[in-house]
Amino acid sequence: DDPYLQVRDLRVRFATEDGVVRAVDGVSFAVERGRTLGIVGESGSGKSVTSLAVLGLHDPKRTTITGQILVGGRDIAGRPDEEVRRLRGRDMAMIFQDPLSALHPYYSVGRQIAEAYRIHHPRAGRGEARKRTIEMLDRVGIPQPAKRADQYPHEFSGGMRQRAMIAMALVNDPDLLIADEPTTALDVTVQAQILDLLGDLQKEFNSAIILITHDLGVVSQVADEVLVMYGGRAVEHGGVEQVLRAPQHPYTWGLLASVPTVHGDAGADLVPIPGNPPSLINLPPGCAFHPRCRHASGDCFTQVPELRDVERLMVACHHPEASRAQ
Ligand code: SF4
Ligand code: MG
């Protein structure tokens, strides 16, 4: 069986007044049903743009997409909007960081979930849609779901709103679920509960999941596989245990050292990565990470490192052994 989603050599460019933004520059990955891929990077790494392109949520007037996006074996890269829209919400759904931006303030939560259901089940009556809505609210752990269905988004706490968003995303039983920073706005306890919930639902719904985050700690809790992006490119890719235990790319080392939640020991020294993410209009030559890398030398300044096999990981670095020695 082929993976449900296969992305091959995806490139996404936007025209801006300042020049062409190369937001995603040749990224490939695959996600099977029942598996979770974590896409990790700082803001501006291309991780969100990648998922928006998969869902066809980019602005078609400004954006050029090349490469392949195979969903259930069908290439939807650059397909007409209506075709992708039909898949979206039914076969593919998304959970955002801020449910308030996705939920309409003037309609009850239950009505919005019921409508999401009826868009893709046009023959379902109101009664059936309401029944399904209440089932889903119950399934995501919202107490008194029938009563809660009639409430408005502002009457929900942040964690409950995120649960409602997840109910809405799953109401049509999608094959692919993309969650973009789904727990970033939540406190640590609620964050852990939502990640647990996502893990449970994945088993039950057997969806392919892409989890987008800047936080390797979040990835360690739910992902099977990790793709680390920097400057629109994949810099490290492999199984979650291997990436977290023995990353080969200096950027991944930097992310690990700067995230408190991976090892959970609050006393550990957190070391932020020096410097800032690069401009996607003018990437540094060679390895885009070189201005921030203390192992940079020789080829790093002139040759873009290709992804290659290193210690059971795919790594784009000229000197992975240098970072191992640190
Ligand atoms: Fe550092 Fe060079 Fe590796 Fe880039 S290629 S991460 S600059 S060692
Ligand atoms: Mg983002």
- Evaluate: CB of 235 within 6 angstroms of ligand 1: no
Q: How far is CA 215 from each of CA 133, 220, 241, 302, rounded to the nearest angstrom?
A: 31, 9, 15, 30
Is residue 32 over pLDDT 70? yes
pTM: 0.92
pLDDT of 76 reads 87
Judge contact between 81 and 59, C-beta under 8 A: no
User: What is the average pLDDT across 3-22?
Assistant: 95
User: What is the average pLDDT across 132-142?
Assistant: 96
Is residue 102 over pLDDT 90? no
Q: What is the mean pLDDT of the chain?
A: 90
The DSSP symbol for 262 reads T
Between the CA of 54 and the centroid of ligand 1 the distance, in Å, is 29
ipTM of the complex: 0.94
| CA 99/CA 121 separation, integer angstroms | 23
pLDDT of 98 reads 79
User: What is the average pLDDT across 144-157?
Assistant: 96
pLDDT of 202 reads 87
| CA 114/CA 172 separation, integer angstroms | 10
Percent of the chain with pLDDT over 70: 95
- Evaluate: CB of 296 within 6 angstroms of ligand 1: yes
User: What is the average pLDDT across 291-302?
Assistant: 95
For residue 193, which phi and psi values (nearest 5 degrees)? Answer: -65, -40
User: What is the average pLDDT across 194-208?
Assistant: 89
pLDDT of 264 reads 52
CA-closest residue to ligand 1 atom 3: 317
Q: Which amino acid is at 232?
A: G
- Evaluate: CB of 293 within 6 angstroms of ligand 1: yes
Give the position of tokens 């790494």: 45
Please tell me whether residue 5 adopts helix, strand or coil conformation.
Answer: strand
Is residue 325 over pLDDT 80? no
Higher pLDDT, 78 or 138: 138
Q: Which domains, ranges and CATH numbers included, belong to the chain?
A: 5-91+174-324 (3.40.50.300), 106-173 (no CATH)
Between the CA of 48 and the centroid of ligand 2 the distance, in Å, is 5
Is residue 167 over pLDDT 90? yes
Q: List, in order, residues 6 or more apart from 80 with CB less than 8 Å away.
A: none
pLDDT of 97 reads 81
Between the CA of 73 and the centroid of ligand 1 the distance, in Å, is 36
Is residue 269 over pLDDT 70? no
pLDDT of 127 reads 95
- Evaluate: CB of 292 within 6 angstroms of ligand 1: no
pLDDT tens digit sequence for 49-63: 999 888 888 888 889
* Number of C-beta neighbours around residue 110 at 10 A: 23
- Evaluate: CB of 318 within 6 angstroms of ligand 1: yes
Counting from 1 in the atom list of ligand 1, the atom nearest the Cα of 249 is 6
